[in-house]
Structure 1
């Protein structure tokens, strides 16, 4: 069988169009062979008929195929990705940073009350049940925000839950901060702000892809949790100092990874949905809060 290929209109080989052409060519050739009549007479009219039939078969066996390197399998996924539009990505980032800023302002205001209001500080030190009463509600709201995807995309339920979670987090931070001096808390706040700003700028301009470290960071976080549980029964200055340093490193890496997940672009894992702005803000907020706690512990141990 003879096939003449001419370049006329584009065909995407990744979608299997070329297989359809090959089958079509084979079927057409079979039909022509089965319908062809052979004669042995040397007459001139029959020779003309054979030439006409041969030209018709040549035209029937001629198919148009264009090989283009501009069409790749990733093009369809890029078109399906809503973040392929720069304006959608920009609006998403602005919304996340606005929500995050509001969370940090509310948290800072609550912690300031516990630091500078001496009566409240003394009351929390005497009534330890206050901290233990907040913990269950804190984890319930956190689990709801983390696991209920439809709920955290629904307005205004997502904002209400996030606001409630932020208030609970501020109360917990306030209950922790009463065990430190106001000066130590302020130094930890300034250090956390400086580290957060530096790591955010680093995550935005670096060519390194930290989103691929998700599995390794999860293992380090699990080790950190086990390490912290053991320290409840071990009183060692150096082990606590090592724990605070390790926690600072782990959540610094988490902060860089979550910023790159939010920004997306060239990073390997950037599969956030445009409606997941609450989830993105929650991740970065928790990274900053945990970073603050470990830096505060480092400062307290250093003094």
Structure 2
């Protein structure tokens, strides 16, 4: 039972390495999410088709706070159920049931932290003249692929030529000003093109007025989908790249690089970096849960600054 919350509170550095959150940020997470987890459990107990009386069956032997801690550690470190159960003093089946209960609540909490930038409150950026055709206020859109176990069916659909493996692709949108994640798409097979995923996600339709979207070369054609969309300029086929295009792409990269680290923050959680061992339909829930944890940590640091 070395990973129970009361024990880990005494080891601040270990807690942060295990969860990616400070103790204060985790306490705020428990205050917000624990009531949702408990309400969902009560609803399940009181369902009309339940045959066993309330109170029957096995118990978790974990408080709601410890259940959330177990799930956050799983998202951050991605251990097996056997390891999780050993750390928390429960069986591997209990660890699995705890995750099944808590991940949807964390995913919904993650959705609640995602807010598109406010054009009225955001600070305008002074852009170089070469970027005069790009929006002053923008979100950065990018995608990442996570390797997954080879599916029994539709193997070709999930095979990514870029990664030379079967993958799942997720699209993440980040507020350029704050670095917060403002949108996460549904997960799709890794074979999908970035621009196709952007269309399917309908993220551009949620952008406020006077807020644009910036993408890399994978989003060539974004301006056709949104008047304030922009991406680097492609090299003309069979020709040298014009000097003005080099200047434009260099300035464009400087603008994007500031949030590349923000886009990479979710990948520090090993549940999104290691080979996916779990059901593909639940992948988007895990990405949103991690995005919510990342946003909470950013908000906590902003308040502490």
TM-score band w.r.t. shorter chain: under 0.3
Higher helix share: 1
In the superposition, the TM-score normalised over structure 2's length comes to 0.24
Pick the structure with greater CA Rg: 1
